[in-house]
Structure 1
Amino acid sequence: MPEVWERGADDEFAGRADDGSYDATARVVDARGVDDEQRVEAALRPKRLADFPGQPRVRDQLSLVLEAARRRDAVPDHILLSGPPGLGKTTLAMIVAAELERPIRVTSGPAIQHAGDLAAILSSLAEGEVLFLDEIHRMARPAEEMLYLAMEDFRVDVIVGKGPGATAIPLELPPFTVVGATTRAGLLPAPLRDRFGFTGHLDFYSSDDLAAILVRSARLLGVEALDDGIAEIAGRSRGTPRIANRLLRRVRDWSQVHGRGVVDLEAAHEALALFDVDVRGLDRLDRGVLELLCTRFGGGPVGLSTLAVAVGEEPDTVETVAEPYLVREGFMVRTPRGRAATALAWQHLGLTAPMDAPGAGAPQLPLDGEGRFS
């Protein structure tokens, strides 16, 4: 293998091998920016349940479970958190460990493809430790079956040998708590789902809750933010804190480069227009899907594969990234014959809806911008 050098400031030919070729990976990477971004992400996460905004039902239920376990001086029941991405499942898992004052082990379902992988993790857990399994529905079936026994009896059977001579050696585990997170609770097998003593479903946030999150995030980022700018960002964040914090950082960038260094209404408008986020939170992909539905396919219905090819994306991307929000907000409907644009989609694009469009001709209720009666 040819030798590779790092490129120096005054070395024009650094990185060139003996045969005159270059290795594309030979470069100097400054990791300070990555570390700063990670520190920002960590700083924006609430550390205690009392500081967790929104989700009052789940917060109160989880608080009861943890407080009861503390008073009994016992590990709490296993916890399952479900809901769409970006609503705070990982943050709540970190909060559980912080409230219990216990260490947390973090892994994910796709990373555990063999029972041996899970056995190695379980055998190294300390008493009372929290095991966070993200995307738990994607765990391999053999590992799931091992997890059943571990969660219920705090024991795993390690198989030694193969064939008729194989022997199962029981391994006792200290009590621990599994916190599972999933975006698709329906894919969890019933035996695994039933072993969780508490299940919490996270819903999308209201604009007021998102505004409170953004105020806190702006303070932690050291950014001056006005109420009108915060409200504008909150209204375009799809009810999702992760999106709200991401948009806040982009508006901050715009205000520091082109504005007055303040997150105000003007900065929010200009920055979100630059990043193709419209007043209803639709991005480039969302608008592309709706525009193709309305202009090229006459509003549909059209098949998912055809729609994905037309928009230049994979069918899975359209189905899992764009479609859930468009359906939830009433811009698109799923029919047995395919996807169809509603009258609201035509109206949002400034087009006249055909009479047979879903929702066309329905009485228009006096609603404000957030869907409440005005």
Structure 2
Amino acid sequence: MIEPTSDEREVEAKLRPTSLTEFVGQEKVVNQLNLILDAAKLHNRAPDHILLAGPPGLGKTTLAMIVAHDSGKPLRLTSGPAIQSSGDLASMLSALQSGDVLFIDEIHRMSRSAEEMLYLAMEDFRVDVMVGKGPGAASISLEIAPFTLVGATTRSGMLPTPLRDRFGFTAFLEYYEPADLVSVVTRASQKLGIEIESDAANALATRSRGTPRIANRLLRRVRDFAAVNRQPVITMDSVLSAMELFEVDALGLDRVDRQILTLLATQFSAKPVGLSTLAVAIGEEPDTIEAVIEPYLIRIGFIQRTPRGREITQHGIAHLTQAKR
């Protein structure tokens, strides 16, 4: 996968929409959030706690920022892996002001003790903190300011039911259709101050794996290619040449995707392979394969999960055969 640099993350931040009217795609989720935010304003209260679930790169962080912006309140950002004790969470919650929006990315990776503290904070806006140790230990109840929690997860099934049930609204983000991705590419090109032809925008959209983050990243690579080659407008030829250089094919598969398919088809003779074995074979972490690489290959029908492991399909084999011609 093409990893973003720090400069690219700054550009990504500039490309983020700042309101629901600017947000492209996810029409149902946008309409639902509009209702929730409008109702909160009507009743002069903080919006309900919101859970955003879906694959990486579909706009969960952007939607959290929009919730805070629309509410006119600050956004406090953290992540599940950063909250490894109830003390970490208590410190964070006690610093919140009334109406603040707390965004916890990858919320399913919080520690169990922090999760249990969050139950009470979400419902009653208070936390119980243990002071001291041993027989002299005492529990002190601390009031916290009313806040809105926005949680994001790529694995909603890993969230405990008591936590999931405390969210007033759960949004499930889905992969984007090509037409929406064309709009994403066109909007981003305008923000970057570059002109792109319609067929070139379509070509980028079909290579973006249904994900706006990837669409924006590929657009920047093509922009760089066009700039270096002194091309004032991004054309279809620019896209095809740049994608060939970065080894991204017509379906958006990159070198790692093809490596996985090739290993499954040849080295493992199209037989099921365990996730850990596959991870060792390509030199990637199992979590990366399961959460980032594999979902798209399953979605387009190139591999499948079986009780015995991952297995390449006939469609996957046919794609490899066609690519070699």
Q: Tell me which interval the TM-score lies in, with the shorter structure as reference length.
A: over 0.9
Residues 183 and 320 of structure 1: is their aligned pair in 2 closer, same or farther, counting only changes over 3 Å? closer
Q: What is the SS of the residue equivalent to 2:271?
A: coil
Residues 237 and 126 of structure 1: is their aligned pair in 2 closer, same or farther, counting only changes over 3 Å? same
1:169 corresponds in structure 2 to 140
Q: Offset of 1:168 from its aligned partner?
A: 1.6
Q: Distance in 2 between matches of 1:304 and 1:112?
A: 28
CA contact (8 A) 2:84 2:110 kept: yes
CA contact (8 A) 2:204 2:215 kept: yes
Q: Distance in 2 between matches of 1:201 and 1:125?
A: 27
Q: How does 1:107-146 map to 2 (within 5 A)?
A: 107-146=78-117
Among candidates 306, 315, 332, match of residue 277 of structure 2: 306
Q: How does 1:173-252 map to 2 (within 5 A)?
A: 173-252=144-223
Amino acid at match of 1:99: D
Q: What is the SS of the residue equivalent to 2:56?
A: coil
Residues 66 and 315 of structure 1: is their aligned pair in 2 closer, same or farther, counting only changes over 3 Å? closer
Q: Distance in 2 between matches of 1:307 and 1:159?
A: 45
2:51 corresponds in structure 1 to 80
Q: Deviations over 1:49-96 (max 9, x none)?
A: 111110011000110011001000011110000000000000000000
Q: Distance in 1 between matches of 2:107 and 2:277?
A: 32
CA contact (8 A) 1:256 1:262 kept: no
1:274 corresponds in structure 2 to 245
State the Cα RMSD in Å. 1.7
Q: Distance in 2 between matches of 1:281 and 1:219?
A: 23
Flag the structure with higher helix content: 2
Residues 339 and 193 of structure 1: is their aligned pair in 2 closer, same or farther, counting only changes over 3 Å? same
Q: Offset of 1:340 from its aligned partner?
A: 1.9
Q: Distance in 2 between matches of 1:310 and 1:153?
A: 49
Q: Distance in 1 between matches of 2:275 and 2:160?
A: 28
Among candidates 294, 303, 307, match of residue 336 of structure 1: 307
Amino acid at match of 2:56: P
1:103 corresponds in structure 2 to 74
Amino acid at match of 1:80: L
Structure 1 runs not aligned, ≥5 long = 1-32, 353-374
Equivalent pairs counted in the alignment come to 319
CA contact (8 A) 2:128 2:141 kept: yes
Larger Rg: 1
Q: Distance in 2 between matches of 1:148 and 1:124?
A: 18
Q: What is the SS of the residue equivalent to 1:156?
A: strand
RCO greater where, 1 or 2, for CA within 8 Å and sep 6 or more?
A: 2
1:90 corresponds in structure 2 to 61
Q: Distance in 1 between matches of 2:274 and 2:126?
A: 48
Among candidates 311, 321, 331, match of residue 292 of structure 2: 321
Q: Deviations over 1:11-48 (max 9, x none)?
A: xxxxxxxxxxxxxxxxxxxxxx95x5454222100000
1:157 aligns with 2:135: no
Amino acid at match of 1:322: I
Q: Distance in 1 between matches of 2:47 and 2:82?
A: 25
Amino acid at match of 2:244: A
Q: Offset of 1:259 from its aligned partner?
A: 4.8
Q: Offset of 1:263 from its aligned partner?
A: 1.6
Among candidates 27, 31, 40, match of residue 69 of structure 1: 40
Q: What is the SS of the residue equivalent to 1:149?
A: helix
Q: TM-score, normalized by length of structure 1?
A: 0.82
Q: What is the SS of the residue equivalent to 2:321?
A: coil
Amino acid at match of 1:235: T
Q: Deviations over 1:134-182 (max 9, x none)?
A: 1111111111111111110011122221112112221111211000000
Amino acid at match of 2:49: H
CA contact (8 A) 2:243 2:249 kept: yes
Q: Offset of 1:351 from its aligned partner?
A: 6.1
Q: Offset of 1:327 from its aligned partner?
A: 1.1
Q: Offset of 1:295 from its aligned partner?
A: 2.4
Q: What is the SS of the residue equivalent to 1:298?
A: coil
Q: Deviations over 1:73-132 (max 9, x none)?
A: 011110000000000000000000011111111111111111111111111111111011
Q: Offset of 1:189 from its aligned partner?
A: 0.6
Residues 76 and 165 of structure 1: is their aligned pair in 2 closer, same or farther, counting only changes over 3 Å? same
**Alignment identity in percent?**
61
Amino acid at match of 2:228: V
Q: What is the SS of the residue equivalent to 1:200?
A: strand
2:267 corresponds in structure 1 to 296
Q: TM-score, normalized by length of structure 2?
A: 0.94
CA contact (8 A) 1:54 1:205 kept: yes
